[in-house]
């Protein structure tokens, strides 16, 4: 079953994460989404909308799957590499990308939105944030940079250390998202913003955008992610206990 759906709206391509029930990011979904981004750009898309499911944009990495890998470190590395491959594809896309967040976006879901140019979120009781510390993980320096560039250094510190998930209104107030609309209008507003951007003189817009986003691409360089160290911490007893508790909670 295809876990990514695409729709073309003129020069804009919407890439929809479609792995039921909550778009948990496993390698198949991450690789399919990355390939869809690359295919859209390669076939002339002038802008991309990245959307997810109703009520949940993406629940983040597929923790039950990652835990099922046990001591297979090589497989765990590949899973995380597939996720960061998607993040880098969004960050380095040669055309603007808008996140259409029609629901919750914790952890890896939030990371993907931070890699986009603009974030439109559903108004209401939906939450977004990097909650890694709550499950015993340390967000790599590169991911922390993504948060800092959007909300500022001190605000990012407070959010990251607490592993805070903020509601939609707070996310808008602190700049974590750019716009709130009704849930059934999220993708349409994302396209409207893109269309306005694409109406500008193209060369000047794209060159300015590339300069403005250079730090985003730099943040995701391997030396700022330190994936080997991150995987080492994954196997720590405290982290494993917190992750197992999370999976048990999800199963209730």
Are the CB atoms for 11 and 45 separated by under 8 Å?
A: yes
φ, ψ at 46 (rounded to 5°) = -95, -15
| Tokens at 98, concatenated | 């808008």
What percent of the chain clears pLDDT 70, i.e. is strictly above it? 99
Does residue 252 surpass a pLDDT of 60? no
> Do 126 and 96 touch, CB atoms closer than 8 A?
no
The whole-angstrom separation of Cα 52 and Cα 17 is: 5
- Checking if the pLDDT of 249 tops 90, the result is no
Q: Does residue 65 register a pLDDT over 70?
A: yes
Is the CB of residue 194 less than 8 Å from the CB of residue 49?
yes
Residues forming a β-bridge with 13: 8, 48
Question: Chain centroid to CA 16: how far?
Answer: 13
Query: Is residue 7 scored above 90 in pLDDT?
Result: yes
Which tokens sit at 164?
A: 């805070």
- What angle is formed at CA 109 by the lines to CA 81 and CA 72, rounded to 5 degrees? 35
Average pLDDT, the chain: 95
- The radius of gyration computed from the CA coordinates of the chain, to the nearest angstrom, equals 17
Write the CATH number of the domain with boundaries 4-183+216-251: 3.90.226.10
For 230-240, letters b (16+ CB in 10 Å) and e give beeebeeeebe
14-44: string of b/e by CB count within 10 Å (b at 16+)?
Answer: bbbbbbeebbbbbbbbbbbbbebbeebbeee
Distance of CA 178 to the CA centre of its chain: 15
**Confidence class of residue 245 from pLDDT cuts 50, 70 and 90?**
confident
């Amino acid at each position: 079953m295809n876990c990514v759906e695409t729709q073309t709206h003129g020069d804009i391509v919407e890439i929809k994460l479609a792995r039921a029930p909550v778009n948990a990011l496993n390698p198949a979904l991450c690789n399919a989404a990355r390939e869809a981004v690359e295919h859209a750009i390669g076939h002339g898309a002038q802008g991309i909308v990245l959307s997810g499911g109703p009520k949940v944009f993406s629940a983040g990495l597929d923790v039950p799957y990652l835990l099922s890998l046990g001591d297979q470190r090589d497989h765990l590395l590949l899973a995380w590499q597939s996720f960061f491959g998607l993040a880098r594809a969004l960050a380095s896309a040669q055309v603007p990308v808008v996140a259409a967040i029609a629901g919750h976006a914790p952890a890896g879901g939030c990371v993907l939105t931070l890699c986009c140019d603009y974030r439109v979120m559903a108004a209401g009781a939906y939450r977004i944030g990097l909650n890694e510390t709550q499950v015993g993980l340390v967000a790599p320096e590169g991911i922390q940079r993504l948060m800092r560039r959007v909300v500022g250094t001190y605000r990012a510190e407070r959010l990251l250390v607490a592993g805070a998930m903020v509601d939609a209104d707070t996310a808008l107030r602190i700049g974590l998202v750019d716009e709130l609309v009704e849930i059934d209008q999220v993708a349409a507003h994302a396209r409207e913003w893109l269309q306005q951007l694409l109406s500008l003189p193209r060369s000047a817009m794209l060159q300015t955008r590339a300069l403005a986003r250079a730090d985003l691409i730099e943040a995701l360089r391997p030396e700022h992610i330190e994936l080997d160290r991150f995987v080492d911490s994954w196997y720590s007893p405290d982290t494993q206990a917190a992750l197992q508790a999370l999976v048990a909670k999800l199963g209730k």
